[in-house]
Chain A
Amino acid sequence: MKELIEQIAKALVDNPDQVSVNPVEGEQTTVLELRVAPNDLGKVIGKQGRTARSIRTILGAAGMKLRKRFTLEILE
């Protein structure tokens, strides 16, 4: 799952070398902490947050079969 988010984020931003994803595993939920260059924040959030919302939607779908919950946190 880390790979999925990392690859998508790298494709969205202008500075792919500054993308990092840190998975924090909880009991039921894994939080994926996404860090990007400050000037790329808008790229991963999108207009009215639509890009971030789409990433969260597909993360929800990706966890269904695995019976796991994944959430995305975008860190500055």
Chain B
Amino acid sequence: MRSEDLLSLFVKSASLKLHFERVSTPEGEHITFTGDDAPILLARNAEIMNALEYLCNRVMEKQGTRVTLDCSGYRESRAQELRLMALKAAESVKRLVRPFKLNPMSPEERRIIHLAIADDGSIRTESEGYGEQRQVVIHPK
């Protein structure tokens, strides 16, 4: 089974109005969804699209292929939102000289947070908790 097979079967089983296009690059496959049911994929911080992406990656990892899914520019706008959250939280850590805990996030989202404020010498970031509950904490240095 390839990622397109998984996604076609899902769209068909769920009777969703969705189409997707796949582009292969040296870093892996990028699949973009369009269609009337796009909001279903993106609800609750793209819960369903992220679950599909995770499963596509588990299915494709034997072949060493990374899969990313996107829909309506969600990945980029979410990354911008996360970077903004990171900067605001970092500001509050510096002002109050007190650690700040962000909401639990996936590894991919935590990475965006860490990178967004990695160059700031007056704070440091780490993750704590396990599984679904793992969250970034920003500390004053």
Contacts and interface: CB of A to CB of B under 8 A. Distances in A.
A binds B: yes
Interface of A: 1, 3-4, 7-8, 10-12, 46, 48-51, 53-55, 57-58, 61-66
Interface residues of B, number: 22
Contacts, number: 65
Contacts of A54: 50-52, 54-55
B55 A65 contact: no
Contacts of A3: 9, 13
A46 B129 CA distance: 18
A8 B15 contact: no
Contact of B55 (A10, A55, A62, A66): A55
Chain A interface mostly helix, strand, loop or mixed? helix
A7 B55 CA distance: 12
A8 B6 contact: yes
A12 B14 contact: no
Given A8-B59, A58-B48, A51 B54 contact: yes
B9 to A, nearest CB: 5
Contacts of B120: none
Contacts of A65: 14-16
Contacts of B51: 53-55, 57-58, 61
A54 B50 CA distance: 8
A67 B52 CA distance: 20
A12 B40 contact: no
A46 to B, nearest CB: 7
8 closest pairs, A vs B, by CB?
A48-B131, A11-B1, A57-B51, A62-B14, A54-B51, A11-B59, A4-B13, A61-B48
Interface string B21-53: 000000000000000000010000001101110
